[in-house]
Amino acid sequence: MIRNRYSVRKRNFGRRKNKIGRFAGSRNRVIRTGAAVVEFAIVANVMFLLIMTCIEFARMNMVRNLAQDAAYFGARQAVVPGATSQEAKNVADGIMGSMLSGGYTISVTDVDADSTEIAVTVEVNLHDVALFVPLFLPNSSIQTQAKMRTERYDGFFEQ
Dump pLDDT digits (tens) for 87-120: 999 999 999 999 988 899 999 999 887 888 999 9
**CATH code, domain with 131:** 3.30.1300
Residue 12 one-letter amino acid = N
Residue 11 lies in a domain: no
Residue 7 lies in a domain: no
**Confidence at residue 93, expressed as pLDDT on a 0 to 100 scale:** 95
Mean of pLDDT values over 47-70: 92
Residue 45 lies in a domain: yes
Residue 8 lies in a domain: no
Of the CA atoms within 13 Å of residue 13, those in its CB half-sphere come to 1
Confidence band of 73 (pLDDT split at 50, 70, 90)? very high
| Residue 28 domain boundaries | 24-149
DSSP letter string over 25-77?
Answer: HHHHHHHHHHHHHHHHHHHHHHHHHHHHHHHHHHHHHHHHHHHHHHHHHHHHH
**Confidence at residue 3, expressed as pLDDT on a 0 to 100 scale:** 62
How many folded domains does the chain comprise?
1
Residue 55 lies in a domain: yes
Phi-psi region of 147 (alpha: psi -120 to 50; beta: other; left: phi over 0): beta
Residue 156 lies in a domain: no
User: 88 and 110 in contact (C-beta within 8 Å)?
Assistant: no
pTM of the model: 0.70
**Confidence at residue 140, expressed as pLDDT on a 0 to 100 scale:** 84
- CA–CA distance, 96 with 64 (Å, rounded to integer): 11
